[in-house]
Amino acid sequence: MDLENYTNVNIFKKVYEKREVSSIHNVVEQPHHLLKDNTQHAKGGFNPYVNNQGTTVAIAGKDFVLVAADTRISQGFNILSRDYSRTTKLTDQCVITSGGMVADIETLHKLLIAKVKTYQRQFKKTPTVESLAQLLGNTLYGRRFMPYYAFNLLCGIDQNGQGSVYGYDAIGSWDKLTYGVQGSGSELGAPILDNQFVGHNYLVKTLPDDVSVVEDTGKDIINSIAERDIYTGDQVEIVIVDKNGIRVKREPIRRD
Amino acid sequence: MELDYLKTLPLGGFNFDNCIRNRAMAESGILQAPKTMKTGTTICGVLFKDGVVLAADTRATGGSIVGDKNCEKIHNLAPNIFCCGAGTAADCDHVTEMIKRQLELHRLNTHSENRVQMAALKLVAHAFKYGGQIGTHLIVGGVDVKGPQLIECSNDGNMYSMPYHTTGSGSLAAMAIMETRYKENMTREEAVNLCIAAIEAGIYHDLGSGSNVDVCVITRNKYEMLRNIKHDNFKVFSKPGGYQFKKDRVQVVEEFKHKLVVEAGEQPMDLS
């Protein structure tokens, strides 16, 4: 290639010329999303998402699942609530717990309850945790380009009576786990869970069988996160799902 | 000249070399220059009948993580002058330390007590010189020949003198308490309690502030540092029995056994 000539050639010339041609006909033929007003609007201005923070931990056991979550919601440096429950019962054997934006969490949980009811009417049975896991994945991916700002853990007892936890991202990528942590304190909680419980990286895959030990650990993890994460605190909500149903209890933790 | 190399040595003061690098990074569009952290704090000061009370929380944050759960935010400038610092922790520490030395020299040269006005003016002059880039938001309090003084010095070089001040991310919560409960000519007891209440408002309602309350009471010829006068925030639950690190979780691929030979006269290392 002749370099001397190359520098004089405006490689964008074609593009510029094409852009400068303007007539009503052209504008109308442009795809809707390429119109100038529309693209500008999409870029700047209104941002509907806000992160209300908070941490939630879920641990699967041999015949139970434990969820430990804090109850604080915040915006910036302000506390909006000290007793918000981020865990919702879906069926007698399944709960969902989420971190992220409270408005979206609430909407998503309500939608799932409705979907569970529809399922019950249609099929005359309660959906299994496995079914709900797929349903939640599809629900989230359905909002691929305007997602629910919610990071979920679906926890329940599966058809074999074993505890199981399903972890999701905001747009519906999901996986079956044995424990999970979501929210603002997830980076602080994950290493303790990795050390104490059985996950992908361990050879001996036995789930914990003592509820009280797992409960103490879950409670301690939220307490420890509250020490170092400013968005976590106020109360710890413990939800235990086993074959007898769902138990909920709350304990105060540091409020500063 | 023989000592030409002296010209190549840094002269002291701040080093701005990285500014060139940061601009290059920003222009490249690939990398972002590092940003400084915004820190949260609640500090306050109140004038009372015969002195000044300063108070601060003890949480130091870096973003959303608590860096120090019990740090000291009340700095000593002179035997009769103290200062609460909010903003960038490093700036507050170094600027107060620098002014402390200047005041001490002045004290030794003049054989007289430092004035609060002078300390505040020095702080403000330094802050203004750097056009607000030095993140010091200070409340200076002390007692001198003119009586109890309370001055706020902000990073842009302003000085305000009022009977009560609050600064930091929790300043709104603390000021709410101040505005409702402050009155003139309070006793020492009342002033300390007001300051504690103001800082606690910051601790509980502002996420950037937390942990304990430090109070410093300065009166004529005397100061009292009440460190951790309130300490209500601590970890309420730990797993009984602690944690075990289970060995069988990790596969042993190969095992070596070596015999430890201790040579005569050597002491074996304590491995317990």
Task: Residue B81: name the closest of B131, B32, B143 by CA.
Answer: B143
Bridging pattern class, strands B81-87 and A87-91: unpaired
Closest residue to A202, CB basis, from B59, B209, B249: B249
**Nearest Cα residue in chain A from B208:** A77
User: Is residue B246 very low, low, confident or very high in pLDDT (cuts 50, 70, 90)?
Assistant: confident
User: What is the architecture of the domain spanning B42-231?
Assistant: 4-Layer Sandwich (3.60)
Burial class (CB in 10 A: 0-12, 13-18, 19+), A219: buried
Nearest by CB to residue A231, choosing from B64, B169, B236, is: B64
* pLDDT the model gives residue A34: 47
Contact B66 A229 (CB under 8 A): yes
Quote the number of domains for chain A. Answer: 1
Contact between chains at A230 and B245 (C-beta distance less than 8 A): no
Q: Test B207 with A253 for CB contact under 8 angstroms.
A: no
Closest among A148, A166, A146 to A157, alpha carbons compared: A166
Q: Is A213 within a domain?
A: yes
Give the pLDDT of residue B9.
Answer: 81
pLDDT at A90 over 60: yes
The predicted structure's pLDDT at residue A74: 95
Residues in B closer than 8 angstroms to A203, CB to CB, are 249-251
pLDDT at position A31: 45
Give the least confident one: A25-39, A92-106, B68-82. A25-39
Q: How much of chain A exceeds pLDDT 70, in percent? A: 81
Which residue in the set B211, B234, B237 is minimally distant from A219, CB to CB? B237
Summarize the confidence of residues A24-43 as an average pLDDT. 48
Percent of chain A with pLDDT over 90: 76
Residue A141, pLDDT score: 96
What does the pLDDT look like over A40-63, one tens digit per residue?
A: 445 567 889 999 999 999 999 999
**Which residues are paired to B195 by β-bridges?**
none
Q: Phi first, then psi: give them for residue B108, nearest 5 degrees.
A: -70, -35
Which residues in chain B have their CB less than 8 angstroms from residue A220's CB? 237-239
**In which band, very low, low, confident or very high, does the pLDDT at A2 lie, cut at 50, 70 and 90?**
low
- Asked if A204's CB is within 8 angstroms of B64's CB, the reply is no
Dihedral (CA of B105, B108, B110, B113) sign: positive
Flag whether A41 is in a domain.
Answer: no
Q: Which chain B residue lies closest to A224 (C-alpha atoms)?
A: B235
Instruction: Name the residue facing A230 among B66, B237, B251 (closest C-beta).
Output: B66
Could you confirm whether B136 is annotated as catalytic?
A: no
pLDDT band, very low/low/confident/very high, at B270 (cuts 50, 70, 90): confident
Determine whether the interchain pair B206/A78 forms a contact, defined as Cβ–Cβ distance below 8 Å: yes
Within chain B, strands assigned E span 43-48, 51-57, 60-62, 65-68, 74-78, 81-87, 136-144, 147-153, 159-161, 164-167, 213-219, 222-230
B115-136 pLDDT tens trace: 999 999 999 999 999 999 999 9
Q: What is the mean pLDDT of residues A190-205?
A: 79
Partner-chain contact B207 A77, CB within 8 Å? yes
Q: Name the catalytic one among B8, B39, B41, B166.
A: B41
State which residue of chain B sits closest to A256, comparing Cα positions. B204
φ, ψ dihedrals at A76, nearest 5° = 65, -130
Please report residues of A whose CB lies closer than 8 A to that of B176. Answer: none
The fraction of chain B above a pLDDT of 70, given in percent, is 95
Q: Domain of A78: which CATH number? A: 3.60.20.10
Q: Is the pLDDT of residue B63 over 90?
A: no
Contact B208 A77 (CB under 8 A): yes
Residue B253: CB atoms within 10 A of its CB come to 5
Q: What is the largest CA-CA distance in chain A?
A: 82
* β-pair type (A78-81, A73-75): antiparallel
Checking if the pLDDT of B167 tops 50, the result is: yes
Residue B32 reports pLDDT greater than 80: no
The pLDDT score that the predictor gives to residue A40 is 45
Residue A154 structural domain: 55-252
- Kindly give the residue spans of alpha helices, DSSP state H, lying in B58-115: 89-110
User: pLDDT at residue A166 above 50?
Assistant: yes
- Return the pLDDT at A32: 47
For residue A65 the two structure tokens come to: 């699942």
| Residue B257 structure tokens | 């056994």
**Sequence-separated (6 or more) residues with CB below 8 Å from residue B238:** A220, A223
User: Is the complex ipTM more than 0.85?
Assistant: no
Higher per-residue confidence, A250 vs B30: A250
**Which stretches of A11-91 are assigned E, i.e. beta strand?**
55-60, 64-70, 73-75, 78-81, 87-91
**Block residue for tokens 């505005």:** B179
CB contacts of A216 in chain B (<8 Å) are 239-240
